[in-house]
Structures are given as structure tokens and as C-alpha cells.
Amino acid sequence: MNKKLLSLLVSLVVVVGGLYWVFGLPAVGNPEIPTSPEAIARGEYLYNAAGCNACHQTGDAEGPSGGYEIESPFGGHFVTPNITPDEETGIGGWTGRDFILAIKHGRSPDGGFYWPAFPYRSYMGMSDEEVLDIAAYMVTLSPIASESYQHELPAWQFSWMMSGWNIMADFMEGEPPAVADDPQLQRGAHLARHFSHCGECHTPRNALGISDLSNEFAGQEGVASAPLTPEGLADYSYDDFVYFLEDGFTMNFEQVGGEMLDVIEHTSQLSQEDREALAAFLMRDR
């Protein structure tokens, strides 16, 4: 074969391969959504642990029908969608694959990209089984017909840009500190990182909004500057901190404010054992 033609072919393969890498959907299979009462109960617990309602259920809504506005650090705001199983306006008919792609990969059923205002980069550490249990619970919720609003974002922002952003985040966010091989600490790490998503607000981000996991929980300027480290939590005893996660009372005997109150709403629904695991993980020596 002609050398020029060969190099052209090779370049073509590289470009198509690259596009596929950037825009292709991850292969996640299409597992069944479980229907047993046990799976639904596990899913309800995990759904609450992940604080899904903090963003998807607003005001006096009867379910997670969306409409909550989240300010974007790059201008404009996002509006959360309706995630009740309504066929027309919600996620009615979603399959196991759709839930895994959305929650763990930030991808919509048609291959589009979600904005990271949806904390999928934290949720990506859930197991597929955990996501499927959450799905099992979500499909039992009452459908609410409520059209999802459009985000209001600056004209230069397109969600397909998140294809590149996700790849940069994979390379730039770094590794979080290792956690000792202790069941309680491992459970606390899994909950804090991949369910309660404490780092979305308490871990520093770079100018692109990518989390610096090597500085996990060191505080995020302008969002939640409180570091969740033994030094940052020095005013709290372990027991006080476990109570804080239940009732939101700080060491100044004040109810914690702002979005942290929504967080307490979900940590208060955890089992005592899981709140203790969270506290043990965040207060561990490192």
C-alpha cells in the first residue's frame, strides 16, 4: 500500500478512536433494576444518604420534581430536573443502564453530557449495585407531571464541553489520601466521598472547577471554607461531631446555616453507626 494512504488511514483511525474516547458512552451493560422490597428499602436509605432531595425536591413539592436553582460559578444558574418517574416530564421508563450512566458518568440516555452541578463526580464511586438499588426506590415514587426548566447559562457554554472537562478532571483531580484498612474508616470514606459528597463544597477546586482530591476537605474558598480535618474540627469532640451530623448544632451552640442545613437533613437520616463512621473517617489522624 502507498505510504501516504497508509498514514492517512492511521490518522483517521486515531481521530475516530479519539472522538469515540471523548464522546462515546462508557460500556455499562444493561442490568435489571431490582424489584424486591429489600432492594427498595436499601435504595431509599442510599437515596437519602446521597442527599438527592436537597437539590431535586423544593419547597412544598410532594416529591423530587425539580425546579431548584443552583448558581453557577461561571455565571448564570442551573435548574434541577424532575426525577420522578413521570413518563412525559420525568424519568419514567429509565432502564438500569440509564441510571448508571447518569449517576456514575454524568451522561444522559441519549449520550448527552450533564453539567457537574449534578455531583456525578462524587457519585461515580458508588457501586453499580448501589445505583440499581437507588433506581429500585426511585421507580416506586409517585410520578409528578412537572416540566423541567431550562438552565440559564452564558451563551458560550455548551454541555458537550463537559466531554473535555471530564477527561481533564480524570487527570487533574489526583488521588485522595489512602484510608487505613479498617471497616469503620472504609465505610466512612465511602459515605463521605460518594454519598454525602462533603467534598463538593469543602474540597478546594482549581480555576476550571476541578476538585483537588489530594487536598481533600481542606475547605473551598467562598463556598464552605471550614476544613473537615482534625485541625479544622478541633473544637469538636468525636461525640459532639456525631451529634452535629444529627442535629446541626455547632460548637457555638448555633444551628449551622446555609446549604449545610440541607446536608444535615440527610446525615440526620443515616443510622447512628453510619454517622459514627463519617465522624471517625473525617477525624482520623492523617
Judged by the rule CB under 6 A, the positions of this chain that interact with ligand HEC are: 50-52, 54-56, 70, 78, 80-81, 83, 91, 102-103, 108, 114-115, 117-119, 123, 134, 159, 192, 196-198, 200-202, 224, 226, 228, 250-251, 256-260, 263, 267, 278, 282
Query: In the bound complex, what is the minimum distance in angstroms from residue 190's beta carbon to ligand HEC?
Result: 12
Query: In the bound complex, what is the minimum distance in angstroms from residue 244's beta carbon to ligand HEC?
Result: 6
Query: In the bound complex, what is the minimum distance in angstroms from residue 54's beta carbon to ligand HEC?
Result: 5
Which class for 189: exposed (0-12), middle (13-18), buried (19 or more C-beta within 10 A)?
buried
In single-letter form, the type of residue at position 284 comes to: R
Q: Which is nearer to ligand HEC, 95 or 108 (CB)?
A: 108
Q: Which is nearer to ligand HEC, 157 or 172 (CB)?
A: 157
Q: Which is nearer to ligand HEC, 3 or 169 (CB)?
A: 169
Q: Which is nearer to ligand HEC, 172 or 243 (CB)?
A: 243
Query: In the bound complex, what is the minimum distance in angstroms from residue 180's beta carbon to ligand HEC?
Result: 19
Determine the Cα–Cα distance for residues 200 and 193; give it in Å rounded to an integer.
Answer: 9
In single-letter form, the type of residue at position 254 comes to: E
Could you tell me the CA-to-CA distances from 241 to 41, 203, 229 in Å, in that order?
Answer: 27, 19, 12
Which class for 207: exposed (0-12), middle (13-18), buried (19 or more C-beta within 10 A)?
exposed
Residues contacting residue 184 through CB under 8 Å, at least 6 positions apart: 276, 277, 280, 281
Return the residue matching grid coordinates 446536608.
263
Query: In the bound complex, what is the minimum distance in angstroms from residue 185's beta carbon to ligand HEC?
Result: 15
Could you tell me the CA-to-CA distances from 147 to 74, 78, 91, 111, 243 in Å, in that order?
Answer: 25, 15, 11, 21, 39
Q: Which is nearer to ligand HEC, 83 or 139 (CB)?
A: 83
Nearest residue to 275 via CA among 177, 180, 195: 195
Query: In the bound complex, what is the minimum distance in angstroms from residue 37's beta carbon to ligand HEC?
Result: 20
Query: In the bound complex, what is the minimum distance in angstroms from residue 8's beta carbon to ligand HEC?
Result: 37
In single-letter form, the type of residue at position 172 comes to: M
> Does residue 217 come out as left (phi exceeding 0), alpha (psi in the -120 to 50 range) or beta?
left
